Amino acid sequence: MKGWSRKSLLGLEEMNPEEIIFLLDKAKEFKSVVSQKGSSLESLSGKRIINLFMEPSTRTRIAFEVAAKTLSADIISIAESSSSLTKGETLRDTALNIQALGADAIVIRHSSPGSALFLSKTIDVPIINAGDGAHEHPSQALLDIYTLRDNLGTLEGKNITILGDILFSRVARSNLWGLSKLGANVTFAGPSTLVPKDFEQLGAKVTHNLENALDGADAVMLLRIQHERQSTSHFPSLSEYTKIFGLSSDHEKILDSKALILHPGPINRGVEIDSTLADCSRSLILEQVSNGVAVRMAILYLCCMS
Ligand code: CP
């Protein structure tokens, strides 16, 4: 397809700015067609997509299901707990069997970094990474970038702060690649144990001071603490984390009046963000979720039709 040659979507590190814009434009097209017609399209009629989720998910799994159905594809979701992975079958054998059952694409979420890349080299159908450990979560970053562009116009020269557990966040990594490729300045902020200084080598500014992180930001993206990936605690207590790095209404005086608030979800109210800010008019949290359907429609369409 002109403008798109990828069969699989593994991460934003490997994508160039033109591909990212192409995909976001396709998402915009899908969003306007579906909101005008209020109905489904026939674009992926006859295609069979398998959602293989080996970690819990609400937003990503359901958004891929809604996206596939809106494009008239068949989609089947499988969780690890109800699959034969629990009987000792390998991921490779599971994927080979899914391919033999007629899958045209596999959407995979897995706790191991590189699992999506591994499958893309193992089987012959498009692989869409729905989150691989702390490595990448490309569909999330693409919907975040879509939402930011929709609200800010351009990302060129915009200051985006990503605040929280950066060390264990695939969302932070994918956003860093995507946002900086589109010209934004990314700041990673949080405690030094969760935001190592050497992350500056990836191209982000790093700060451990919340006021510095918020001052001049066009948008602030909050991240939850990824307890499931941490074997030891990285700060004395959750209440101390909240006191020093939680976003509350007290921070309104530092934030620019037009600064936007994002969160990929799930949010932990009262920990990384106060309810007053999660639900305020500058919060784009639910807009991100809605945009996730159009972005995933674009991903499925481009990968299945390339
Ligand atoms: N943002 C995100 O990945 O949410 P889920 O874990 O609910 O899919």
Name the residue at shortest CA distance from atom 3 of ligand 1: 60
Has residue 38 got a pLDDT over 70?
Answer: no
What's the pLDDT score for residue 119?
97
Residue closest by Cα to atom 5 of ligand 1 = 57
Q: Looking at residues 2-6, what average pLDDT do you find?
A: 91
Q: Which two tokens stand for residue 10?
A: 């593994």
| Amino acid at site 29 | E
pLDDT value at 37 more than 70: no
Place of tokens 């992180």: 213
Q: Given the CA of residue 60, which atom of ligand 1 is nearest to it?
A: 8
Is the pLDDT at 282 greater than 90? The verdict is: yes
Q: Provide the H-helix boundaries in 101-248.
A: 115-122, 138-152, 170-181, 210-214, 238-245
Ligand 1 atom nearest 61 alpha carbon: 8
Instruction: Summarize pLDDT for 175-194 with one digit per residue, the tens.
Output: 999 999 999 999 999 999 99
Confidence category of residue 69, pLDDT binned at 50, 70, 90? very high
pLDDT in tens, 233-246: 777 788 899 999 99
What is the C-alpha separation between 189 and 205, in angstroms, rounded?
A: 8
Mean pLDDT of 271-285: 96
- CA nearest 122: which of 163, 84, 81, 94? 94
Question: What per-residue confidence (pLDDT) applies to 33?
Answer: 84
**Ligand 1 touching residue 292 (CB < 6 A):** no
265 alpha carbon – ligand 1 mean position (Å): 6
pLDDT in tens, 89-128: 999 999 999 999 999 999 999 999 999 999 999 999 999 9
Confirm or reject: Cβ of 138 under 6 Å from ligand 1: no
pLDDT for position 2 = 84
Q: Identify the three-state secondary structure at position 93.
A: helix
User: If we measure between CA atoms, which residue out of 278, 273, 280, 27 comes closest to residue 144?
Assistant: 27
Read off the pLDDT band of 278 (50, 70, 90).
Answer: very high
pLDDT over threshold 80, residue 227:
no
- Ligand 1: which of 51, 54, 58, 285 to mutate, judged by most atoms within 8 Å of the beta carbon? 58
Task: List the one residue out of 279, 288, 293, 298 whose CA is nearest residue 144.
Answer: 288
- Is the predicted pLDDT of residue 226 greater than 90, yes or no? no
Does ligand 1 come within 6 angstroms of the Cβ of 59? yes
Atom of ligand 1 nearest to the CA of 265: 1
Confidence band, pLDDT 50/70/90 cuts, at residue 40: confident
253 CA to middle of ligand 1, Å?
30
d(C-alpha 222, C-alpha 278), whole Å: 10
Q: What's the chain's average pLDDT?
A: 94
Mean pLDDT, rounded, for 50-70: 97
**Span of 112-116, 204-208, 240-244, 296-300 with lowest mean pLDDT:** 240-244
Query: How many angstroms is it from 142 CA to the middle of ligand 1?
Result: 13
57 Cα: distance to centroid of ligand 1 (angstroms): 5
Query: How many angstroms is it from 266 CA to the middle of ligand 1?
Result: 6
Query: How would residue 35 be classed by pLDDT, with cut points 50, 70 and 90?
Result: confident
Poorest-confidence range of 31-45, 70-84, 213-227?
31-45
- Give 137 Cα–ligand 1 centroid separation in angstroms: 9
Strand 219-222 relative to strand 48-53: parallel, antiparallel, unpaired?
A: unpaired
User: Is residue 134 predicted with pLDDT exceeding 90?
Assistant: yes
pLDDT recorded at residue 196:
82
Specify the ligand 1 atom closest to the Cα of 137. Answer: 3
The mean per-residue pLDDT over the stretch 278-306 comes to 97
Residue 9 to residue 139: CA distance in whole angstroms = 9
